[in-house]
Chain A
Amino acid sequence: MEFPGISVYWIIVVLMMMGFYVVISQHNLIKKIVGLSIFQVSVFLFYIAMGKVSGGTAPILSDGIETYSNPLPHVLILTAIVVGVATTALGLALVVRINDAYGTIEDNEIQAMEDDK
């Protein structure tokens, strides 16, 4: 496999699966949010890597430059970053409220308390 070539996609997939694994395996609600963020960021990287044209430069018109990278995926990701920040903020706000209501942020302990009543 040539380097860097498509190795960037391997990195992205590994990162994505790490985030996904954290979401599934962790009981701590904040750690789940961390995993979710890693998962989302790997998708941002996926879009950014996709927009890169080899040999291309930043998409600003100037003399003597022929190849530009594709700016559209980068712009899309600006939107997706905003969504990601909003999700993380909302998730953490919910964790604060859950901590107030239950006195713990461990998923299995909360589950046990909910099963009781």
Chain B
Amino acid sequence: MIAHHLPVLQIVIPLMAAPLCMFLRHHVWCWLLAVVISWLSLAMSVGLLMQVQDQGVVIYEIGGWAAPWGIEYRIDQLNSFVLVVISAIAAVVMPYARASVDKEVPRDRAFLFYSMMLLCLTGLLGIAITGDAFNLFVFLEISSLSSYVLISMGRDRRGLTASYRYLVLGTLGATFYIIGVGMMYMMTGTLNIADLAKLIPAVAETRTIQAALAFLTVGLCLKLALFPLHMWLPNAYTYAPSAVTVFLASTATKVSVYALIRVIFTIFGGVDILDTLQVSDLLMVLAIAGMFAGSAVAIYQVNIKRMLAYSSVAQLGYMVLGVTMANVSGVTAGIIHLFNHALTKGGLFMAMGCIAYVIGSVRLDDMAGLGKRMPLTMAAFLAGGLSLIGVPLTAGFVSKWYLIQGALEKGWWPVAVLIVLSSLLAVIYIWRVVEMAYFKDPPEGCEAVTEAPMSMLIPMFVLIAATYYFGIDATTTVDIARSAADVLIGEIK
């Protein structure tokens, strides 16, 4: 009985918990509620993943209205995996948030913080679960609006301007998306994604549909911060409270990548859009440019949170590159990197949160000798950095392996070389931090060994351990990603 209603409960429970926080008003109770809800979400999404593995696509009609008139939630291999990624990250971030938020957000506003976190979680889960193109827009805006609030909540005033700039660009992106949806509705009379996939091939040659594709792609690329549409991302990640940075960096842009995959492979799957309209070439060039530009700019940053933000721009390039290959290995790489990068970057930003908690700064100069002062945190940073570079035995290696394999299957060997070269840039910017932390002496007069509280260290080590677990034994994740990619590629006729 409950199992049948899991898809809608996945959304309704966090959605209802968000206003409940407003009534509780006490920061400890709100935090407890957020932790319980995020763990519940994780349990439900794992339940859904198992259902999908057992019996294939799960379809839930909201209010009993049959699609395409009603809104349906449609969960297949791909989005059940994305749901698990989002809720798993939320389940790790919420316990972490407690100490970090106490330090970085004024206490009288902490209940609003948890309320917004839950709303953001709802929006992100909604984007992943829905089978309706317009519904996706609504969830996109729920998650975006709450993330604008979250980014502006820190003590640094630059968080306000970062949030404002993200608001302007994010709204433009979402509005572009909705123009595209409107154009598709004009030509097909449906908003249901599965129904659109059936009806689009008949009208694919019209200029309206081609314009719709352009709007959808640009809108979603703005949301996922594909180079050169990434301008909102570095400041937003740098000045947001640490817990927010961890959560958004590992989920928000990933969900937009998922939405882009849906548009390209499901809605436009019947017309082989990547070849006929040269979308593939365009996205590939931008993805590779992003890989290099993001990493190159990261090398020169003195604020390490901003450095990791630019590195995110580069990593999103890998994901989009995998998608544009449009073969099973490439798309598998894109999906699996979505998961692996969420773990890696989540762990790295958590380390930054711990450092900000203890020394109150994330600037490179202030990190001198930190390897001696905060041995656990720096060890986690180093371990996460290795995964970011893509050293064997880490999760980052698995995704790059498949990415290079995808490029070679296509015969794009120069692309494979570029992937390796851009990974080497990651060595440089991670090395700068390692050198500063381990080979410089700590400044005079600072206290010996201090670490962040256990409630922050444990979630950080959970994520870092996961990057190694899924790097050494990648069979589970690769199987899921590969079967999702098989379905997606199968949709291209």
Seen from chain A, the residues whose Cβ lies within 8 Å of a Cβ on chain B are: 20, 23, 29, 32, 36, 39-40, 43, 46-47, 50, 73, 76, 79-80, 83, 86-87, 90-91, 94-95, 97-98, 101-102, 110, 114
Contacts and interface: CB of A to CB of B under 8 A. Distances in A.
B493 interface: no
A94 B152 contact: yes
Nearest to A86: B145
A94 B179 CA distance: 26
Contacts, number: 67
B186 A40 contact: no
A39 B168 CA distance: 11
Nearest to A40: B175
Contacts of A79: 134, 138
B160 A98 contact: yes
Interface of B: 134, 137-138, 141, 145, 148-149, 152, 157-158, 160-161, 163-164, 167-168, 171-172, 175, 178-179, 182, 185-186, 191
Contact of B161 (A40, A46, A114): A114
A32 B168 CA distance: 8
A23 B173 CA distance: 13
Given A50-B186, A101-B160, A110-B161, A87 B171 contact: yes
A43 B167 contact: no
Quick one: which of A20, A90, A97 has the most chain B CB within 10 A?
A: A90
Contact of A83 (B141, B157, B160, B179): B141
B167 A94 contact: yes
A80 B178 contact: yes
Task: State the main secondary structure of chain A at its contact with B.
Answer: helix
A46 B191 CA distance: 16
Contacts of B168: 23, 32, 36, 91
Contacts of A87: 141, 145, 167, 171
B164 A95 contact: yes
Contact of A73 (B145, B157, B160, B185): B185
A59 to B, nearest CB: 14
Contact of B164 (A50, A86, A94): A94
A29 B134 CA distance: 29
Top-3 shortest CB links A-B: A101-B157, A83-B141, A94-B164
A23 to B, nearest CB: 6
B172 A39 contact: yes
A90 B160 contact: no
